[in-house]
Amino acid sequence: MEMLFEYLRRYDIWNNLFPGMIFIYSYNVFWNVYDWNQIPIVYIFFMAYFIGMIISRIGSICIEPLLKKIKFIKFIDYISYLTAVECDKTIIELNTVNNVYRTILTGLIIFLLIFIHKEINDICMLINSEIVIYDLFLIVLFLLSYRKQTGYINKRVSKYI
């Protein structure tokens, strides 16, 4: 377990593991899905990390652009960000905290949507292919995440060319 924590960066812990743990714990409090005594701790950490990563990607791909579009938040251009980070390293920490807030916000939104979905499903009993729908959603989510991350890398590389 110690080796796992050594591998994880502080960003991964705060932006993926922490929100994932909050989410799976809250989910279990409301719907009592897991018997935590029967699940190995390593499995819980991997599950929390993966769920946290999904929540983080939804925040990055869906929530952040929506908030930009409605002008709730405004970002500076990426090249200016990189220039500023060269002068002030605390911007990286501020950005990490900012991403944690976005991920927790996204987790809360997802939690609300799951609650609404379960209530509607209990009433209607119409949705039979949830796994396929969730899988397609995750495919699109990570496809868009990959494109976004590639854009960041390209911008960073082009700064030095």
Dihedral Cα 41, 47, 53, 57, nearest 10 deg: -160
Q: Which of 44-53, 66-75, 134-143 has the lowest mean pLDDT?
A: 134-143
Q: How far is CA 44 from CA 10, 20, 40, 51, 115, in A?
A: 19, 10, 7, 10, 22
Average pLDDT, integer, range 118-146? 74
Average pLDDT, integer, range 36-65? 93
How does pLDDT run across 25-46, given as a tens digit for each residue?
A: 888 888 888 888 889 999 999 9
Backbone angles phi, psi at 37, to 5 degrees: -70, -20
